[in-house]
Structure 1
Amino acid sequence: MAKESSFDVVSTVDMQEIDNAYQQAKKELTQRYDLKGSGAELSLDKQKKTITVAAPADFVARQVIDIMGSKLIKRGIDLAAVKWGDPQAATGQSVRQTATIVEGIDKETAGKINKDIKAQKLKVKVTIEGDKLRVSSASRDALQEVIAFLKGQDYGQPLQYVNYR
């Protein structure tokens, strides 16, 4: 029997790069003339993996989110890894908006990916291991086809393909 090859499908985010993007965005908030005295604030909670924007108006909050998004892109972080919630009214006229950083593949998404791979009718075996999927096959070509197929799909979060053996 041929030796089986495999790879893992994971969804990870480099928190250090997110912290760097946050620091750059915070610095730009203090330097940009249109946002300098606006009272807009940006905060990052590394343990909870959340980014919070507090601003005096919805328009200003969207500007701060755009700044944060541009810094994340420059740092190589996929914007699909950051899920922004709905704006919430805070004290006075101010607005607060929180984003969660998506890491790991939840059971529901893992099941959807598994079902989509099986629908391709390739000779591969998919196992769900916690917050990642392991795809294995005797044929490396089949594994390459699975990676190409998954790159063309949108699961609402960035996927990486690691441990290709």
Structure 2
Amino acid sequence: MPSFDIVSEIDTVELRNAVDNASRELTTRFDFRGVEASFEMQKDESVRMNAEGDFQLKQMRDILRANLAKRGVDANAMEAKQEEASGKNWHQIVAFKQGIETSMSKKIVKLIKDKKMKVQASIQGEKVRVTGKKRDDLQAVMSVIREAELGQPFQFENFRD
């Protein structure tokens, strides 16, 4: 029986490249001249942004989002944490969603069942396996998942006939 897996992963190499490009862009931007601002890649694959003001953090988030788009990383995976101030400096952590949480997996399975498609969806750890008799049914499920605004990017892998 044909099947495929729905996963949510970020290419960490492209993420690192986007952060490096954003750091380079900071050095050339006129509005960041003489301002202490930086992007730092953390060990847990999140990005720490440091700046002198909260307005500059918002600009840095836009710079990072643009560089992610250039590198082919979906910006929907970005999750900006609360901005924090320490002294005159501000910092913010931007985390990236990896894997599908159980609650999101249940939403996906419910979405597929509500469409009354002739497929079975099962949760397997951080991915959802979809099995059906026809390839067309599986491709219909893919288009439904793409069209649904679930707040997280999804990829389809292990497509088997």
Q: TM-score range by the shorter chain?
A: over 0.9
User: What percent of counterpart residues are identical?
Assistant: 36
The two structures have a TM-score, normalised by structure 2, of: 0.95
Which residue is equivalent to 1:36?
Answer: 33
Within a 5 Å distance, the mapping from 1:15-34 to structure 2 comes to 15-34=12-31
Which residue is equivalent to 2:52?
Answer: 56
Aligned-pair CA distance for 1:62: 1.1
Question: What is the one-letter code of the residue matched to 1:49?
Answer: E
Question: What is the one-letter code of the residue matched to 2:107?
Answer: K
Given the alignment, which residue of 2, 9, 14 partners 1:5? 2
d(CA) in 2 for partners of 1:140, 1:33: 53
d(CA) in 1 for partners of 2:139, 2:65: 31
State the 4+ residue runs in structure 1 displaced beyond 2 angstroms.
Answer: none
Given the alignment, which residue of 90, 104, 115 partners 2:86? 90
Residue 14, structure 1, aligned to residue 17, structure 2: no
Residue 136, structure 1, aligned to residue 160, structure 2: no
Question: What is the one-letter code of the residue matched to 2:6?
Answer: V
d(CA) in 2 for partners of 1:58, 1:77: 25
SS at match of 1:97: strand
Question: What is the one-letter code of the residue matched to 1:79?
Answer: A
Aligned-pair CA distance for 1:39: 0.6
Aligned-pair CA distance for 1:147: 0.8
Given the alignment, which residue of 112, 118, 122 partners 2:113? 118
Aligned-pair CA distance for 1:31: 2.0
**Structure 1: tracts of 5 or more residues without a match:** none
d(CA) in 1 for partners of 2:105, 2:86: 36
Given the alignment, which residue of 102, 105, 111 partners 2:97? 102
Question: What is the one-letter code of the residue matched to 2:46?
Answer: T
Question: What is the one-letter code of the residue matched to 1:25?
Answer: A
d(CA) in 1 for partners of 2:90, 2:8: 30
Encode CA deviations 1:90-140: one digit per residue, 9 max, x unaligned.
223x22111111110010100110111111111111111110010001121
The number of residues matched between the two structures is 160
Which residue is equivalent to 2:156?
Answer: 161
